[in-house]
Amino acid sequence: MQPLILIADDEKTIRNFLRVSLETQDYKCLEAENGGEALMLCAANDPDILVLDLGLPDMDGVDVIRELRKISQLPILIVSARGHDREKIEALDAGADDYLTKPFSVPELLARIRVILRRQSALHAPDGQGGESTAFRIGELTVDSEKRRVRLDGEEVHLTPNEYKVLDLLIRHQGKVLTHRFLIENVWGTGSPDDTQSLRVCMGNLRRKLREDPAQPRYIITEIGVGYRLADS
């Protein structure tokens, strides 16, 4: 079945560009020119992904995200000219899954969509088809969530409890950007101060133990000023 993608952008030329780019890759598309129409079409058609601009005429895109998150976990990919870290963080913390800053390349857009669809497929896989095994593998890194054991190139990696929590969150949200605030609240607790330094130290130690090359990381990708994500493959 063709994945259905809803494009919400107030500029017709952008909607047309996105629709043609996606339809040539065998995706079905719906279009919305404002936030209210996007919410209505989401409720009526249950799309697989919402590609959302933040600068909509009737309501801010972040408000669209918040309204959707009250009723749905529909994957949301932001495509926006707003490129400041604060605006990216606000959208991701509101519940967006990924963020692309305009202008962007079509190959990058398609790659982000494939990552989201693969993640959704894995989440909904029946037992025995992706939901049964507790072992996660990416490259030479293997993580057994049941035994809480981490191996790299066949050798066991000893992580602290917080290092394991960070890695586990990245795995469970593979491909999605996790903001500093999200990681801090889920590792150190919701009452913790916004201590990005503790997160930075923890992440540095985790990367060292995973033998990451800072110039070409294999596993953990930094989204500067925003957060981190686990590489797709």
Number of structural domains in the chain:
2
114 shares its domain with 168: no
Give the pLDDT band of residue 58 (cuts 50, 70, 90): very high
Evaluate whether residue 130 is within a structural domain: no
36 shares its domain with 69: yes
Last residue of a domain, one of 102, 123, 144: 123
- pLDDT for 131 equals 47
Rounded (5°) CA angle 30-31-34? 140
Q: Tokens 């990919």 appear where?
A: 77
pLDDT average, residue stretch 184-211: 84
- pLDDT for 126 equals 52
- pLDDT for 224 equals 87
Give me the domain span that covers residue 114: 4-123
For the stretch 2-54, pLDDT in tens is 999 999 999 999 999 999 999 999 999 999 999 999 999 999 999 999 999 99
pLDDT average, residue stretch 223-230: 91
What is the pTM for the complete model shown? 0.74
Q: Tokens 């017709």 appear where?
A: 12
92 shares its domain with 142: no
Give the pLDDT band of residue 128 (cuts 50, 70, 90): very low
Instruction: State the CATH number of the domain containing residue 215.
Output: 1.10.10.10
pLDDT average, residue stretch 157-167: 93
100 shares its domain with 186: no
pLDDT for residue 124 is more than 70: no
Evaluate whether residue 205 is within a structural domain: yes
Alpha carbon 159 to its chain's center: 24
Last residue of a domain, one of 123, 157, 177: 123
9 shares its domain with 114: yes
What mean pLDDT, rounded, does the chain reach? 89
Q: Which of 133, 198, 128, 127 is nearest to 162 (CA)?
A: 198
CA distance 183 to 94: 14
| 3-class SS of residue 202 | helix
85 shares its domain with 40: yes
- Integer angstrom CA distances of residue 219 from 121, 156, 180, 229, 230: 21, 17, 17, 8, 6
Evaluate whether residue 106 is within a structural domain: yes
Q: Tokens 């686990």 appear where?
A: 230
Q: What percent of the chain has pLDDT over 70?
A: 92
- Integer angstrom CA distances of residue 31 from 2, 13, 55, 82: 16, 12, 15, 21
